[in-house]
Amino acid sequence: MNILGISAGFHDAAATVLDDDGNILFAAHSERYSKQKNDANFCNPLIRELETYNPIGTVAYYERPLVKQARQWYAGQGFEWDKLSVKKLVHNQIGHAKWWDLRHYKNYNHHLSHAAAGFQTSVFDKATVVVVDAIGEFETTTIWAAEYVNGKATYKKLWQQNYPHSIGLFYSGATKLVGLRPLDEEYILMGMAAYGGGYAKDIMKLDLVSNEWEIKFRENLHMGMSTKYLSNFSDMDIAAAAQDLAEDLILNVMLRAKQFKWSDNLVYMGGCALNCAANARIGNYFENIWIMPNPGDAGSSLGAAALAHGGRINWRDAYLGHNIPGPYPVNNVLDELLTRQIVGVASGRAEFGPRALGNRSLLADPRGSEIKEKVNDIKRRQQFRPFAPVILEELADTYFDMPRGFEHSRYMQSVARCRVPELFPAIVHADGTSRVQTVPKDGSGIRELLEKWYLMTDCPMLLNTSLNIRGEPMVNDRTDADRFEKLYGVKVCS
Ligand SMILES: [Fe+2]
């Protein structure tokens, strides 16, 4: 019988279904179905899609309710007696419908679920696992020794730091300080960082960090960051300081993890692993790196299911969500690119994770200075934020200095310095870097599209941004795609 993994009730709810053989049958975020960004709970359209994966015998919850409640009580967030039963929490999400054939209810340590989502989807037999997030149970930073013993994944915790000392809460505190939404818009803070500088970092470090090596802070940053010493700095300077300091702290954790000498393979998970500017620096510490493309709490639906399964999970790619059937519309997309420069794609299975990787993407010709404005007319993003390139993998080195550990950046997890920024201003940030997606010779639709585009134009890359109506999550089904076409007058090919 299949296994259902659940991450829900806090932010960005998600579900994963595995079969007995460790194949991922389905994985998706609730927000794509409810159209509520970062929806914390399951919604009926998602539950209806989950029903097609019956029989499900085991449900695995991504954290331990009693420990979570104890942490919330300790943090002054109250204690909710009705949220102690896993069975009840699960039923609150998926309902009491009789078709559920659930016999086993399991739940796991919050950080262990993160670790398993990474290690068990990796190709490694043995790895050092680092988890850095904001808040969950008590742990905020953990290092694990992971390996398979008789085919079963085993984890031994080597080090931990606990709430309220948290790199993620620190970064979210800075996000809030510049007027952005914490636990949501950290990626915008990361983009702002390229425009700031000065000595705000020194003040931030002196004022907030009590022990850099132990990842200890002077104040509890859960409810925000004190502004008393930073009021003279611009938002951009604060962003740069927070980014720089977060990178120092993350690299300290990596150095500590390396010093355990468990393995040269690194699995890195937790919400902080979404910081692609910091990721570009971790290749100096480990030989091989794997970050499951959905490293935050939503990805822990896969982690919890993987723990219930016990063994290696067969990871193929991140296209695990709702399916829009039919072949990839290569020729239609090319026609639109050549005539109108911009086109949407909604084809195949939706991406699991925050990045559009070609199946729910808005694509554009990346050359020239006008395209950024054109795409921004649709996206209405802050002008300072660049778009990302998707490129034929074998040519990535020609155009970008791919950082160590991310020579193949198939899930847009690292930035790389662009060698020819003057040719592609739309996909290059103020600091000269781009968040690159490389596409290997894997027979995929996006690969065929890039190959044909390259033959026709001599340009091996496209601008790639997520296909979403402003303020909404990514397009999920064809109805969403039709709405997008109607609103913006841009064709969406399926
Ligand atoms: Fe987490």
Write the pLDDT tens digit of every residue in 322-336: 999 999 999 999 999
For residue 79, the cross-strand partners are none
- Residue 97's pLDDT band, with cuts at 50, 70 and 90, is low
For residue 464, the cross-strand partners are 363, 388
Look up residue 413 and give its two tokens.
């997890």
- Torsion sign over Cα 341, 344, 349, 351: positive
C-alpha of residue 15 to centroid of ligand 1, in Å: 15
Q: Rounded to whole angstroms, how far apart are CA atoms 405 and 123?
A: 15
C-alpha of residue 231 to centroid of ligand 1, in Å: 31
C-alpha of residue 485 to centroid of ligand 1, in Å: 36
CA distances from 357 to 73, 165, 174, 418 (A): 40, 34, 29, 20
Taking residues 243-255, report their average pLDDT.
Answer: 97
Taking residues 98-126, report their average pLDDT.
Answer: 91
Specify whether the CB–CB gap between 482 and 467 falls below 8 A. no
Specify whether the CB–CB gap between 493 and 333 falls below 8 A. yes
C-alpha of residue 134 to centroid of ligand 1, in Å: 6
Taking residues 98-105, report their average pLDDT.
Answer: 74
C-alpha of residue 438 to centroid of ligand 1, in Å: 27
pLDDT at residue 382 is higher than 60: yes
Taking residues 479-484, report their average pLDDT.
Answer: 98
CA-CA-CA-CA dihedral for 36, 37, 43, 49, to nearest 10: 120
C-alpha of residue 133 to centroid of ligand 1, in Å: 5
Helix segments in 260-344, DSSP class H: 276-279, 300-309, 330-340
C-alpha of residue 462 to centroid of ligand 1, in Å: 33
Specify whether the CB–CB gap between 46 and 93 falls below 8 A. no
Give me the pLDDT at residue 388, please.
96
C-alpha of residue 111 to centroid of ligand 1, in Å: 6
C-alpha of residue 295 to centroid of ligand 1, in Å: 9
Specify whether the CB–CB gap between 106 and 60 falls below 8 A. yes
C-alpha of residue 31 to centroid of ligand 1, in Å: 18
**Which pLDDT tens digit goes with each residue over 272-330?**
999 999 999 999 999 999 999 999 999 999 999 999 999 999 999 999 999 999 999 99
**Which pLDDT tens digit goes with each residue over 167-194?**
999 999 999 999 999 988 999 999 999 9
Question: Over pLDDT 90: what percentage of the chain?
Answer: 87
pLDDT at residue 166 is higher than 80: yes
Pairing outcome for strands 56-61 and 2-7: parallel
C-alpha of residue 139 to centroid of ligand 1, in Å: 9
C-alpha of residue 110 to centroid of ligand 1, in Å: 6
pLDDT at residue 107 is higher than 80: yes
C-alpha of residue 252 to centroid of ligand 1, in Å: 19
